[in-house]
Each structure stands twice: as structure tokens, then as C-alpha cells.
Chain A
Amino acid sequence: MRWRRLLMTLVPILAIVGVLAYGFHRDPRYIPSPLIGHEAPPFTITLFDGRKLSLSDLRGKVVFVNFWSSWCLSCRAEAGELEASWQTLKDRSAVFLGIGIQDTEQDALAFVKEFGITYPTGRDPSSKIAIDYGVWGIPETFFIDPEGRITYKHVGALDPAIISAKLEEAGRRVVSDREGKGLYQSIR
């Protein structure tokens, strides 16, 4: 009887403490993407050099799509690394594509100039592409395999080691079971 009462008191207490502990332990801002392993949403973007580029044109290549903003600190932190990786990897049938969001054309262009970005980069003025990719943090990067399927998503600043490893995996059509996470900030 006494044990039953003790149990009846402790079980609800432990359940509440457990729920609190679980709640405290997770990042409430983090939104897991349902897109990994699925076909990348198609889009056409006007690049800063005036050319139009469609994702469908890049079928058969590994595509690296990076959403960025000039006001985002983590984007600034990774910009140099991205360009360096592009210089190393551009001959290996991988295509880098930068998509500027929530930025004025002037600020975005200044960013491209500041970091000497040479890979194709354009602007998504109404964030339609970003919403189509479920973007919520920035920078956010999607790795797309030659069949047009998203194999990996990384929220936050990227490292050259991750870029080359994940591009190589995308080339082998290996879908990651987890998203990557670095230093990120929410978009505006």
C-alpha cells in the first residue's frame, strides 16, 4: 500500500521532470527538413551577370546550393571558404550556386565583390525559392545529386572538409540520414 502511494506520487513527478528535461534539451528554433532524400524543388534564377539559370539545366551534375545574405555574420565567415572550395572542386563536375535572400541588390553585389565570389550567384527577391526549400536559418546549404535529389542539408557556416565530403557523397548518390548544423542565425 505504502509503495503504491509512493509510486503514485513519484511517477507523475518524474514524468513532469522528464518532459521538462526533454524540452530544455532541444533547440526550439530548429526545424528539421522533410526535403532530404526528395527531389530538389525546381527553380530558375537570374544571376548577377544577367544570365538565367535553371536547376534542371544542371541535371547530371552535383549541385551545391547556398542561401546567404550580406547581413548574416556566418555567411561572411564561410564566404571565403566557399570560394576556395569552388576553386578546388569546380573541375569535378560539381556546380556551386549562391542564392542571396532578404537583401537589396546593391548590398548583395557588394558582398559578392567583397569576397570575390566567382561561382554563379543570383538573388531571390521575394524569397520564393527560399520558401520552396524550407529555409529558416542562414546560411543554409543543400547538396543535390546528379539525379536532382537533395542528399544533405547544412544549416550554418560550412567547413571545406564538410563541403568536399558531402559533395563526394552526393556524387555517389548517398543520402545523409542527418542534417548538419553549424553557427547559424534565423532569417529576418
Chain B
Amino acid sequence: MRFSLIFIVLLNLPGSLLAKPVDLDEETRRIASELRCAVCQNLSLADSPSELAGEMRQVILERLKEGKTPDEIKAYFVSKYGEWILLAPTAQGLNLLIWVLPFVVLVGGVVAVGFLTKRWVRTKRKFPPAALDRPLLLQEKTRLDSDLQELDFDYQAGRLSEIDYADLRKTLETETAAVTRQLESSPGAEAGISRKDLATLTKESGAAAKKPYKRWQLASAGAFLLLFGVTLGVALTKSVRPRGSESGSITGDFLTGTDRGGLPTLLARGRTAFENQQWPEAIDAFKKALAIDPNQPEAHAYMGLILTQAGHADGALLAFDRALSADPNFPLALWGKGLALFHGKKDYSSARATWERLLTMVPVGEERDNLQKLIADAKRLENGGEKTSAPATAGLRDQGKRLEGTIMVPSSLQAKISPGDTLFIIVRRAHLAEGPPQAVKKIPSPHFPLKFSIGPEDAMMPGVPFDGKMEITARIDKDGNPATKSPGDLVGVYRKNPVEVGRSNIEIVIDREL
């Protein structure tokens, strides 16, 4: 009775009283040992001496005190830092590979070893060879004969004891007798072992001994060595640099993927990003270009254009001046400096002076006409006059003057368009391959045939009149990142380029895959 009472009391006690008291510090350490330190390489939170790791351990302890379970605490860190924070990734999705692959390789290895051993044993068992395999029997007989001769020689030279010699000789003689018996019973035995047979066999075995590796083995070993050497050579020469600071890496930017290519590549990347209005990418590329050559005028000029666009006239002017100090007649910098002075600083006389310098370099044509219009405007405003035409009122004046039409994709290419693709309509001033385009329109997830209309509001630079002859192209971008033209992107050029602004029946057929 008493025992059953105690039993009932025990059953009704809260679980926490019955359970062994949890050591919170130990539990914190255990959880921390399963999480990765975010600021050091390959250390757990438990082992890391960093300040952040200490603060994270404190968070774990506090959450344990709040009654959170270890899984909940780990889930909290995963929600903040992603799966990266787990030292042992969860066995889900692609991660599953990490868990499964070692076992697959292990099983594969065991199977391969088994297979090879079996083959090796089978090869060994071939001796003495099957009764009907006459050439192999002949080969075996030759081997045994030469072994016997060698044995005699060794014995006479005193390298073998009497007992060993007798023992080995007996074994060899038994084997020779067995092979001879088989030879005699095999077809063609009547011919006996001819000298020719023996000569051929000796030649074959000699050739086999001289050629221990097959050609494919040598070729693949050579290819591997070459590949390895080239990779190592390229990687080392490109990656190692003096350590800039304590936290710097001797491998620099190359291995971390933050530097892709030299100056021309960076400039090209920057231009493309600029054209596609990808400002962060453009800034990144031009900054890297400037890190390589701090006096690169084009990079400074583009940085200036980006700053003008963002409304930072002072920064822009500084950038243009840097470009002009490197190349006093750099057209893009002169043009941009004029824009920054005109719009940002309202300094019309300086803007006019800058543009007039540029005017001396621009050949007769549309570009020159536009520039002259800008200069005329600056002059008018300089004298206190009202703005009557471009640039600031260009948008209003040109309202209605647009390029409109349809973009089509032939059915053969329709299947290559995915829902996530982005369409870019790019308008450049005719015969002006370099520099930023006049206007760009970005249309995510386009449906074809697509009616489009591109006008002054899509202009890259404020203040440049949207009129005259233009070249219009369209591109369906696969990765949605216009800074990179990648294989699979689809492009189309208007067949009747150049086209006068104001036209409304433009038909662009996207007919080429990059």
C-alpha cells in the first residue's frame, strides 16, 4: 500500500522535478559547439575567442533561461544567418549530397576493390593455364625452364641452402611436369615446342616488360599534369599579393571573385551596367578600374555622370575635373561637366564655356547641332532669359515625339523565353557606338508581340533632346541582370535603322540568340 502511494505521488510530480537538473552553461556550450562563428574561419561559437561569439553565447544562455529548446535556439540563428551558421548542415535538398555522397563513395570504393581483387585473383589462377590454351602453356613452360636455370645458378653461386634448393627445385619440377603433360595432351602437341614458338614468346614477353604503361594512361597523366600546372601557375600569379592589412588576404580579390578581369574588361562592364541603369554595378566596376589606374579619365567621367544622375553636382564636378586633369580634352567629361554645371550648379556661363571647348572637337552633324542648342540655352539663361528649349524643358517640348511600335518574336524562338526574362529596349544616337545610349526601357516578364513606346522619360541623361536619328535595338535578358550579356539572351535590331524620332510603326523582330 505504502509503495503504491509513493508510486502515485511520483507519477503526479511535474516532470521538471523528476528530471536531472540541466546545467545551463553546459547546454549553452553544447549548442554553441554546433554553430559556426560568423567572424572566424572554421571555429565553432564554443571555441571562438571573438567578441561576437561571446555575445552570441550570451544570447543562447538567455534563450535557454527563457525556456527555449536547443532546436528553437538553432532555428533562431538560422533565421538570422542562414544555414551557413550550422556546422553540420541539415540533410535536406542539395545538402543531402554532403551526407549521402561519402557513403556512396565508400560503398563504390568497396565494390571497386572487390571487383579488382576478384579480377586479380582470376588472372593469377590462369597459371597453370587451361589445358587447351597452347600459347599460354608454352609461355608458362618457358618461364618455368628459366626459373629452374636461375635456381641452379643461385645454388651454385652459394646463395641458397641445400634444403631450400631441394625444396624449390621440387616445386618447380612438379609444375614443369604438369605443364608439359598438358602441352602434350593439347592439340598440335605433335609439333612439339618449336624454336619459332619460343622466339615469338620471348619477344612478346620482352615487349610487355618494356611497356608497363599503356598509351591512354600516359596521355591522361600528361593531361592532368598540364592542367594542374596551368591552373596552379595562373592562380598563383594572379592571386597572391602583399598583405594590405592584418585582415587582408594574400590572395586578394582574385580568389574571392571581387575582381574580374583587367582595366578594359572593367570599363566595358561599367559601360554596360551604366547603359542598363544598373548603378551599383557600374559604380563598382568604375571604382575597381580606378583602383587599377587612378587617373583613368573614362572611369572618372562615368562616375561623374552617375553622380550627376543622382543629383550630387559637387561630387560629379570633382570626378569630371579628375578626368579632365588626366585628359584635358576628354569629350565625355566635358559634356558631363557642362551638364553638372548647368543643372546642378545653375552656373550657365561655366557650362557654356565647357561645352564650347567640347564644340571645337565635335564634327559637323547631329551631335554638334544638339550641343549648339545646349550652348544657346546656356547663353540665354546666362543673360537672365527664360529657358525656351532644351535641355530642362526638352522633356515637355518633346512630349509626343517618341519612338513607338511592336516587338515580335518568331515562333521558333518563342519557346526560349522564360517567364522571368526581362526585355530591354535600347535607343542610341545613330552612328554613335560608344558612350551611353540615349534611352533605355526595361520591361520585366514581357509578352509578345509587345507594343512599346519609348520617349524622353526613358532618357539616360536629363537635358539631352530626344530627337533626331536613332538606332533602336531590343534584347531579352535571361538572367534579368542587364549588366551581363549572357549566352541565351535574345536580340533583335530594327531593320530600318537609323530611324527618325516620332515614328510610330517600328517593327523589331527578335531573331538572334547570343
How near does chain A come to B72, taking the closest CB pair, in angstroms? Answer: 15
- Asked whether any CB of chain B lies closer than 8 Å to the CB of A57, the reply is no
A160 touches B310 (CB 8 A): yes
Name A160's closest neighbour in chain B (CB-CB): B312
- In the docked arrangement, what's the CA distance between A93 and B480, Å? 30
Pick the most buried of A20, A159, A177: most chain B CB atoms within 10 A of its CB.
Answer: A159
How near does chain A come to B318, taking the closest CB pair, in angstroms? Answer: 12
Chain A residues whose CB sits within 8 angstroms of the CB of B256 once the complex forms: 25-27, 30
- In the docked arrangement, what's the CA distance between A26 and B257, Å? 6
- Asked whether any CB of chain A lies closer than 8 Å to the CB of B171, the reply is no
Q: Which of B51, B81, B247, B284 is within 8 Å of A134, CB to CB?
A: B81
Q: Given the known A-B contacts A27-B258, A136-B39, A186-B39, are A159 and B80 also in contact in the complex, defined by CB atoms under 8 Å?
A: no
- Asked whether any CB of chain A lies closer than 8 Å to the CB of B411, the reply is no
Chain A residues whose CB sits within 8 angstroms of the CB of B223 once the complex forms: 10
Question: Of B54-62, B160-168, B198-206, which stretch is located at the interface?
Answer: B54-62
- Asked whether any CB of chain B lies closer than 8 Å to the CB of A44, the reply is no
Chain B residues whose CB sits within 8 angstroms of the CB of A30 once the complex forms: 256
Chain A residues whose CB sits within 8 angstroms of the CB of B480 once the complex forms: 177
Name A9's closest neighbour in chain B (CB-CB): B220
- Asked whether any CB of chain B lies closer than 8 Å to the CB of A106, the reply is no
Q: Is the interface of B mostly helix, strand, loop or mixed?
A: helix
Question: Of A32-40, A48-56, A113-121, A141-149, which stretch is located at the interface?
Answer: A32-40
- In the docked arrangement, what's the CA distance between A180 and B281, Å? 9
**Residues from 242 to 291 in B contacting A, C-beta threshold 8 Å:** 247, 255-258, 279-280, 283-284
Name B257's closest neighbour in chain A (CB-CB): A25
How near does chain B come to A162, taking the closest CB pair, in angstroms? Answer: 5
Pick the most buried of A28, A34, A180: most chain B CB atoms within 10 A of its CB.
Answer: A34
- In the docked arrangement, what's the CA distance between A116 and B145, Å? 100
- In the docked arrangement, what's the CA distance between A33 and B81, Å? 6
A162 touches B41 (CB 8 A): no
**Residues from 1 to 17 in A contacting B, C-beta threshold 8 Å:** 2, 5-6, 9-10, 13, 17
- Asked whether any CB of chain A lies closer than 8 Å to the CB of B307, the reply is yes
How near does chain B come to A103, taking the closest CB pair, in angstroms? Answer: 11
Q: Given the known A-B contacts A31-B81, A127-B55, A161-B310, are A6 and B219 also in contact in the complex, defined by CB atoms under 8 Å?
A: yes
- Asked whether any CB of chain B lies closer than 8 Å to the CB of A164, the reply is yes
1/0 per residue, CB under 8 A from A, across B63-83: the answer is 000000000000000111110
A180 touches B80 (CB 8 A): no
Interface size class, chain B? 35 or more
How near does chain B come to A123, taking the closest CB pair, in angstroms? Answer: 14
How near does chain A come to B219, taking the closest CB pair, in angstroms? Answer: 7
- Asked whether any CB of chain A lies closer than 8 Å to the CB of B311, the reply is yes
Chain A residues whose CB sits within 8 angstroms of the CB of B454 once the complex forms: none
Q: Which of B81, B219, B235, B279 is within 8 Å of A162, CB to CB?
A: B279
Chain B residues whose CB sits within 8 angstroms of the CB of A165 once the complex forms: 279-280, 310
Name A184's closest neighbour in chain B (CB-CB): B247
B227 touches A17 (CB 8 A): yes
A160 touches B307 (CB 8 A): yes
A residues sitting closer than 8 Å to B (CB atoms) are 2, 5-6, 9-10, 13, 17, 20-21, 24-35, 88, 102, 126-128, 131-134, 136, 159-162, 164-165, 177, 180-182, 185-188
- Could you pull out 11 A-B pairs where Cβ atoms are within 8 angstroms? A13-B227, A24-B255, A34-B81, A132-B80, A134-B81, A160-B310, A182-B284, A186-B40, A187-B39, A187-B51, A188-B39
Q: A13-B224, A162-B283, A177-B480 are in contact. List 19 more A-B contacts (CB 8 A).
A: A2-B216, A25-B256, A29-B41, A32-B82, A102-B51, A126-B55, A126-B58, A127-B55, A128-B59, A132-B80, A133-B80, A160-B307, A161-B283, A161-B309, A182-B284, A186-B39, A186-B247, A187-B51, A188-B39
